Amino acid sequence: MGSGDVGGKLEAAPSFRRNPAAEGAEGRKGSAVSVTCGSCKFWIQDPSQQEGLGLCRRFPPVMWFQDGMDAAMTWSRFPPANKLQWCGEHKKR
């Protein structure tokens, strides 16, 4: 399966880092949540996934590869990102 894709569900992209200061800080003014993916203008919630999993649209889509039983599949998509992650490219909404 492609990186970040497990059984049709998105997982956090391994290149992104979780912001430990944001854990449990949801909604507190001035907290680390203000610089996580969930508050970034480039992040969108993916309606086909559970709450908090979305896509980062900061850069163009990337190629994904999946080895199937019959043939390898390739496609492009925006990288998955959990709303509690951060990457250093944050832009406030």
pLDDT digits (tens, 9 = 90+) for 46-62: 988 889 999 999 999 98
pLDDT score, position 18 = 54
pLDDT score, position 85 = 92
The model's pLDDT over 10-41, given as tens digits with 9 standing for 90+, comes to 554 444 455 555 544 444 444 544 789 999 99
Locate the DSSP E strands across 1-93: 5-6, 9-10, 17-18, 43-45, 53-56, 62-67, 72-77, 80-82, 85-86
Asked if pLDDT for residue 77 goes beyond 70, the answer is: yes
pTM, entire model: 0.57
Provide the terminal-to-terminal Cα distance of the chain, rounded to the nearest Å. Answer: 33
Asked if pLDDT for residue 70 goes beyond 90, the answer is: no
Backbone Cα Rg of the chain: 14
